[in-house]
Amino acid sequence: MGRGPAHRAADVRSDARRAVQPGRRARRPTVGPAPTVSTPGSDLRGLADQVLVRQTPAQLAETAADLIARAAASAAGARGSFAIALTGGRTPRPLYEALSGPAWRDSIRWEAWRVYFGDERACPPDDAASNYHMARTTLLDHVPIDPKHVHRMPADAADLD
């Protein structure tokens, strides 16, 4: 009988506890090849319980871009649209730059995208600290997403409380 997600999660927790015990040497995660984009409707099931490790931020960004492109193609094929919540900070910048770069820009159905934001700083949208500003300058300004499908948080409103 196979072990399900609950057992795999318990194994991961157990491994994590062993890795942080004083005097124990941490095991390095396995590094595998990045998945590649396949046809629209690609089956992405089974990825939710995996941890993908890459050697460099650029490799991680390309892997994430590939997974997002596959999810977008699958959703657009099944429902006609793809909804994504973007985050801010420095971490997603390489991902947004990868998505807007030549490798992905021309192969994604951007007209199907519906963009939301998972968080925002209390500042105007053109402020360098704004998560929307970072997403706009690294991704949104470089791909043909209809502006009416981009739903930023109004974090510059006077009544934020």
Q: Provide the CATH number for the domain around residue 31.
A: 3.40.50.1360
C-alpha 66/C-alpha 63 separation (Å) is: 5
With tokens 């590649």, the residue in question is 36
**Is 88 inside a domain boundary?**
yes
Closest C-alpha among 110, 90, 99 to residue 62 = 99
Q: In terms of pTM, does the model score above 0.85?
A: no
Question: If 0-12 CB within 10 Å is exposed, 13-18 middle and 19+ buried, where does residue 62 land?
Answer: buried
Do the domain assignments include residue 74? yes
Residue 159 lies in a domain: no
Helix (H, G, I), strand (E, B) or coil at 153: coil
Domain residue limits at 85: 5-151
Taking the C-alpha atoms of residue 135 and residue 121, their distance in angstroms, rounded to an integer, is 13
63 contacts: CB under 8 Å, gap ≥ 6 = 34, 35, 52, 54
Kindly list the distances between the CA atom of residue 64 and the CA atoms of 11, 96, 143, in Å, as whole numbers in the listed order: 25, 10, 17
Cα separation, 94 vs 101, whole angstroms: 10
In a domain, 160, yes or no: no
- Whether 156 is covered by a domain: the verdict is no
* Mean of all residue pLDDT scores within the chain: 80
pLDDT exceeds cutoff 70 at 12: no
In this model, does residue 21 exceed pLDDT 60? Answer: no
Most confidently modeled range among 23-37, 51-65, 133-147 = 133-147
Give me the mean pLDDT over the 44-69 stretch: 87
Q: Model confidence at 1, in pLDDT bands (50, 70, 90)?
A: very low
* Tally of domains within the chain: 1
What confidence tens digit (pLDDT) does each residue in 130-159 have? 999 999 999 999 999 999 999 999 888 777
74-123 residue pLDDT tens: 999 999 999 999 998 899 999 999 999 999 999 999 999 999 999 999 89
